[in-house]
Amino acid sequence: MSDALDRVVDRIRDVRGELAPLLEEARLARLARSEVPGADSSAVCAWNHFENIPTFFNWNNRPR
Amino acid sequence: MATVNGMRGVSRVPAYVVMQPTTLCNLDCVYCYLPLRAQDRRMPVEVARAVAADANVWAARDRFSVVWHGGEPLAAGREHLGALMAPFGPAVEQHVQTNATLLDDAWCEFFAARGVRVSVSVDGPEDLNGQRVSRAGRPAYARIVQGIAALRRHGQSFAALCVVGDPRPGVASRLYEYFLELGCDTLGVNIEEREGVNERANAHDPAAVRAFWSELVAAWRADPRIHVRELEWSLRYVGAVLDGTSGDLLPRELDPIPTVGHDGAVVLLSPELAGFHDPVHGDFSSGNVLQAPLSELLVAPRRTSWVPEFLAGVEACRETCPYFGFCGGGHAANRYFEHGRFDGTETEHCRNSKIHLLEGVLDHVRRP
């Protein structure tokens, strides 16, 4: 069972090289979003993007 | 295998509470799960005061939010919604999830004065928005757009929640372009779920759903101005896998997410269960804030009959599902409304919104 449970993680590691540019673009996109004027009052906070989206938009165990 | 930590038991302190200021909704969307949306049962201010007594304490310690949800919260009217919001101190973030059809200048001023964060429900351009209809069955799109225009006129930033009934190639890029034009900061994409009074089947062709998510990644990548909830979490997870930190990514405990119904009844973990009755589990509630403080109702969630069965289901997911580290376990309402019980594992919702999502992201980077 352990091997079966690891198969998703293994497949992610298999495409590490292909994921790297996408992850870098995502990082830059977060920085760019936090730099928009008035970011302090927007749905996305300036200093810590992911943790400061509205709590209602948390991924896990959230209402829809 | 690396142990996936997190999601063990239920926290005694929530990060947010969902409040139902009225059961009424002025729309009658085809996929809606709410059973009492044609009736105007309003939350008394005493219920809000009871919740605020704990919320103000929690907010002094950590970030805490109230989400005014429905019915349609704006259908409660400004005077009543204002009275319900008043007991919550300035440290409590207030959010409203609205269908936007009642939004006007006066509502925008109301939100601005109180620092309320707004999220609108809209499913995309007019031809993809046909499930959102009035009580007379007429399309609500024109009124939704009019309401969002008021937000933009007032410079009010907003998030959007979009329900997708038919996830397939061709849809995702159109949706993303639409939401870029709409001007939302944050977007949540919900593949339609089978829950509540919505009994429509939600099984889709796996290849089509994967292609939908893969296409959304490509569209987002071309102009990543919007924080897309599903993509942000996917990329955060794969990044953590590559860094070797994914075992600690999930929250340590489940958030109880208390939903406080119009009458003060509290339902934990899944707002979609509120208003339903089961021969074994009754009304799913864990008590009423008019009879006991909310903090007291959260002390022993396992006393609520269905919660231990749900927690067994989360552990079953941990033991059997290779996507658990990404997902954290199926939601209670999806398990119940798809399986008829809480300790089953994989649901159609898991496949549509978690498994095919992650696979779609991987498909995107593997493309020739």
Interface predicted TM-score of the whole assembly (ipTM), two decimals? 0.90
In chain B, the percentage of residues whose pLDDT exceeds 90 is 73
The phi and psi torsions of B340 (rounded to 5 degrees) equal 80, 0
Q: Enumerate the domain spans of chain A.
A: 2-57
Task: Say yes or no: A12 contacts chain B, CB-CB below 8 A.
Answer: yes
More confident residue, B221 or A33: B221
Task: Say yes or no: A15 contacts chain B, CB-CB below 8 A.
Answer: yes
Assign A46 a pLDDT band (cuts: 50, 70, 90): very low
Chain A positions touching B235 (Cβ under 8 A) are 22-23, 26
> Which pLDDT score, from 0 to 100, does residue A35 have?
41
Portion 254-273 of B in contact with A at CB < 8 A: 254-255, 257, 259, 269-272
The shortest CB-CB distance from B1 to any of A2, A44, A53 is to: A2
Highest mean pLDDT pick, A52-61, B7-16, B159-168, B287-296 = B287-296
Assign B353 a pLDDT band (cuts: 50, 70, 90): very high
When the pLDDT of each residue in chain B is averaged and rounded to a whole number, the result is 92
Indicate yes or no: CB of B235 within 8 angstroms of CB of A18. Answer: no
d(CA B188, CA B230): 7
Give the tens place of pLDDT for each residue, B66-87: 999 988 999 999 999 999 999 9
Task: Say yes or no: B15 contacts chain A, CB-CB below 8 A.
Answer: yes
> Which pLDDT score, from 0 to 100, does residue A60 have?
59
Q: Retrieve residue B150's tokens.
A: 């008021």
Indicate yes or no: CB of A63 within 8 angstroms of CB of B224. Answer: no
Contact present, B269 and B257 (Cβ < 8 Å):
yes
Please determine, for residue A44, whether its predicted confidence score (pLDDT) is greater than 70: no
Q: Retrieve residue B126's tokens.
A: 């007019």
- Could you tell me which residues come within 8 angstroms of residue B302 by beta carbon, excluding any fewer than 6 positions away? B10, B308, B311
d(CA B184, CA B368): 32
Task: Say yes or no: A8 contacts chain B, CB-CB below 8 A.
Answer: yes
Chain A positions touching B217 (Cβ under 8 A) are 22
d(CA B120, CA B98): 5
Task: Please state whether beta strands B186-191 and B158-164 pair in parallel, antiparallel, or not at all (unpaired).
Answer: parallel
Highest mean pLDDT pick, A47-51, B80-84, B226-230 = B80-84
Task: Say yes or no: B78 contacts chain A, CB-CB below 8 A.
Answer: no
Give the tens place of pLDDT for each residue, B247-285: 888 888 898 989 999 999 999 998 888 888 899 999 999
Q: How many CB atoms lie within 10 A of CB A32?
A: 12
d(CA B144, CA B141): 5
The shortest CB-CB distance from A43 to any of B157, B269, B364 is to: B157
Indicate yes or no: CB of B227 within 8 angstroms of CB of A55. Answer: no
- Mean of the pLDDT values across residues B92-113? 96
Which domains are delineated in chain B?
16-298 (3.20.20.70)
